[in-house]
Copies of this chain bind each other. A is one copy, B any other.
Amino acid sequence: MTALEPSPEATTEDNEPAAKQIPPAAVARMTLYLRALNSLLAEGVERVSSEALAEASGVSSSTLRKDLSYVGSYGTRGVGYEVQYLSRHIAAALGLTHDWKVAIVGAGNLGKALARYGGFESRGFDVVAIFDADPMVIGNEVGWLRVSDSAELERVLERTHTNMVVLALPATVAQAVCDRVIAAGIRSILSFAPVLLQVPPHVNLRKVDMATELQILAYHAQRAQTPGQAI
Contacts and interface: CB of A to CB of B under 8 A. Distances in A.
Interface in A193-213: 194-196, 202, 204, 206, 208-213
Given A95-B222, A218-B94, A206 B211 contact: no
A218 B98 contact: yes
A151 interface: no
A195 B18 CA distance: 32
Given A110-B113, A112-B109, A217-B206, A211 B27 contact: no
Given A5-B228, A16-B230, A120-B210, A217 B194 contact: no
Interface in A19-48: 19, 22, 27-28, 30-32, 34-36, 39
B123 A187 contact: no
Contact of A34 (B30, B98, B190, B215): B215
B117 A164 contact: no
A31 B212 contact: yes
Nearest to A10: B228
B215 A96 contact: yes
A49 interface: no
Contacts of A124: 215, 218
A230 B120 contact: no
Contacts of A56: 196
Contacts of A230: 1-4, 16-17, 92
Contacts of A217: 164, 188-190, 204, 206
30 contacts: A3-B227, A4-B224, A17-B223, A17-B227, A22-B219, A27-B219, A30-B215, A31-B212, A31-B215, A34-B215, A35-B195, A35-B196, A92-B230, A94-B216, A94-B218, A94-B219, A95-B219, A95-B223, A96-B215, A100-B214, A109-B116, A120-B214, A164-B218, A187-B224, A188-B220, A190-B213, A204-B220, A206-B216, A208-B210, A208-B213
